[in-house]
Structure 1
Amino acid sequence: MYGTAPPALQALIQSTSGPLGLAVVLVYSFLVAIALPFPGEVVLAMPLDLGLHPQAELALLIATSAFGKAMGSLIALRLGNGASRSPLFARIVGQFPALAAGERAFVDRIKEYGYLGLAVGLAIPLMPDTALIYAFSVVETNYVKFAVAAFVGTAARLVTVAGLVNSALAVT
Structure 2
Amino acid sequence: MKNLSILLVLLFLFCFSAKGQNNFNLVKSNKWFIAGPAKENEETINEIRQQKGIIVVTSKEYPKGEIELNMMITNSGTNDGASTNLSKESKYIEITYQSTQVIKLQAREGNSEGNGCVHGGSHPRVSLPASPDDFTTIKILWSDFKLDELPDGRVLNIHNLCKFNFVNYNPVSGSVLKIKSVVFKG
Normalising by structure 1, what TM-score?
A: 0.26
Structure number with higher helix proportion:
1
Structure number with higher strand proportion:
2
Where relative contact order (Cα < 8 A, 6+ residues apart) is larger, the structure is: 2
